[in-house]
Amino acid sequence: MFASQGHGGEAVADYLRAHLHDIVAKDPRYLKEPGKVLHESFQKIDRMYFDEQKGDPVHTCGSTCVAITIIQGNVHCSWAGDSRAVLSTNGKAKDLSIDHKPKVPSETKRIEEAGGFVSVDDGAVCGMFGVSRAIGDYMMKDFKGDYVRKLCKNKEGKFTADLITAEPESSLHRIDPMQDEFVIMATDGVWDKVTSQEAVTFVRDKLMKNPAQIGQAAQALCDAAIKAHSQDNCAAVIIVLGDFVAKKDTNTGVPLTSLAGLNQKMETPYNPATDDRTATAALPREEFEELTRQMKAAGQLDAPLAAKAEANGEEEKKS
């Protein structure tokens, strides 16, 4: 599942919608290395679309993207841009991604080292783009050519790397079926007006009242952002992870509504063989820790997101 937001047109977002899931699902390594496959798919599809456009230097269309795949009780998340994935853990919001904004200190540093700059006034890459990572936007990528080299601030007058890169960042979350409820993936038009916690509280309230109306809850979240005068695209996807229930036993904390009970209310019955909305089978702890070690060794798993966000905050204070 993924959420994307096109800028400069819908072409790249449409291309992502048509092809990204195929790239991931058809990779022969997917079942054994789902996180790595998802991570690599961003740059693969970026190159695929570029090749289809025959390297058109004035093709400025692009799209942010956040994607998750759920397998063996783990949520693998990759993202490029400022579309965001948020997990609800017993009603508490946990960001699975961190927005890629040009003014984030680590992103500013990367852009400047590649020969570009971030505008002081609007925080845009070379005064043109409000995100620092995306699929497309080839005029800001090293392999594209020299269309906007005149904007470069280095002595060579050329990019040494992509200013707007399609390389995503990734995270891994192990599902706790007794705590983790759902994931919201939405574009920045939603997050411009709604905080992660506000979104979780809003959606949770909707699903408590009617667990079957997942799509309606997503639409209501977008409507709320639009009513708050969001000026950007608003799109959202909600993935229910497991036993999302309205009540728990006050003595034991055990859910009173099991998957079977929830099934009676759902428009589409839960099928554990095909339906990832409730895929909560967790790996044994030893296997999970080994998977995490392998992903870290491959450079596919980021440092803890909270620590990263804190580090960026400290750098921003110093600058």
Integer Cα distance of 98 and 204 in angstroms: 22
- The answer to the question of residue 129 being in a domain is no
Range(s) of the domain holding residue 13 = 2-104+167-297
pLDDT at residue number 182: 92
CATH number for the domain including 32?
Answer: 3.60.40.10
- The answer to the question of residue 88 being in a domain is yes
Sign of the Cα pseudo-torsion (143, 141, 167, 318, in order): positive
pTM score of the predicted model: 0.72
Please check whether residue 70 is in contact with residue 2, taking contact to mean a CB–CB distance below 8 angstroms. Answer: no
DSSP helix/strand/coil, 186: strand
Residue 233, Cβ neighbours under 10 Å: how many?
19
- The answer to the question of residue 16 being in a domain is yes
DSSP helix/strand/coil, 127: coil
Integer Cα distance of 140 and 292 in angstroms: 33
- What would the two tokens of residue 183 be? 């994931």
> Structurally, how many domains does the chain consist of?
1
- What would the two tokens of residue 179 be? 């705590």
Average pLDDT by consecutive 10-residue portion of the chain (319 residues)?
Answer: 54 89 93 93 91 63 90 90 93 94 92 87 83 86 54 60 91 87 93 94 90 89 92 89 49 40 34 35 47 56 44 47
pLDDT at residue number 62: 86
Sign of the Cα pseudo-torsion (132, 137, 142, 148, in order): negative
- The answer to the question of residue 159 being in a domain is no
Please check whether residue 194 is in contact with residue 150, taking contact to mean a CB–CB distance below 8 angstroms. Answer: no
Going by C-alpha positions, the residue among 64, 49, 66, 78 that lies closest to residue 6 is: 64
- The answer to the question of residue 238 being in a domain is yes
> Dmax over Cα atoms in the chain, in whole Å?
69
- The answer to the question of residue 308 being in a domain is no
For the chain, the first-to-last Cα distance in angstroms comes to 37
- What would the two tokens of residue 141 be? 């990528």
